Amino acid sequence: MQSMNSLDGKVAVVTGGNSGIGRAIAEALAAAGVRVMVAGRREEANRRVAGELREKHGVDAEAMTTDVAIESDCVSLIAQTRERYGRLDILINNAGIGGWGSIAETSTEDFDRVLKTNLYGAFWCAREAFRAMSKNPEKDRIRGSIVNISSIAGKEAWSGTGTYSVSKFGMMALTQSLADEGKSLGIRATAVRPALVVTPMTGASGSEALLPEDIAETVLYLLRLSPAAWPTEIALPRRGAE
């Protein structure tokens, strides 16, 4: 039986990596020996998390202040990561904000703000990462992996989730397109669709909500699949949901 693909020494960018789901993913990657670029809007939080990863796991972890709602920030993030490490193997598009309320009461400014962060940011980072990964050696059967943290609201929408769902539906289409374009190059793209997760953004708590670590373990599972596996999405419902 073949062993799981080793992640040791690979290079990853995690957006929104200083708290919640992103923080848990950065931790799990570092524990697996991955060199991690922690990206987010809060400079001090980024540096703190990167320092903790270095101290706890002995990996090369760096921090970069990044607002994914700004195209130039996304371009710089990928370029500087590749300059720092010489390659990019993994992109975790995790940064996101909520967009709740009714469509009738949503302003154009709010709609644009949510899409710029949740969808445009994912597109800009994925585009630049895809270009960088295509430069990895062809001998690597998987030259790169893009994991987009979507939501159950990326396949279903309800009253009050309108703008958020629009952004996550778009992320699902982005993922499917990337996965198809990446087949010939060995660049895999997958969306993770969790239900309600205990994070600072959701404010959720209790045993019936998913934990950030559930998402992190799912990401590790996807990254360790053989090159023959080409999942475009994986859903994580929760037991307590109706």
To the query of whether residue 164 is one of the catalytic residues in this protein, the response is yes
Residue 26's identity, in one-letter code, is A
Give 77-85 contacts, CB < 8 A, sequence gap 24+.
77/13, 77/15, 77/37, 77/39, 77/125, 77/128, 78/13, 78/125, 78/128, 78/129, 78/131, 78/132, 79/128, 81/11, 81/13, 81/37, 81/132, 82/132, 84/37, 85/11, 85/35, 85/37, 85/60
Instruction: Assess contact for 87 and 63: CB atoms under 8 A.
Output: no
Q: Are 225 and 219 in contact (CB under 8 A)?
A: no
Q: What are phi and psi of 93, to 5 degrees?
A: -85, 90
Query: Catalytic: which of 85, 120, 164, 221?
Result: 164
Half-sphere exposure of 153 (CA within 13 A, CB side): 18
Q: What is the DSSP string of 192-227?
A: EEE-SB-STTT---STTSBPHHHHHHHHHHHHTS-T
Strand partners, 197: 210
Residues annotated as catalytic are 164
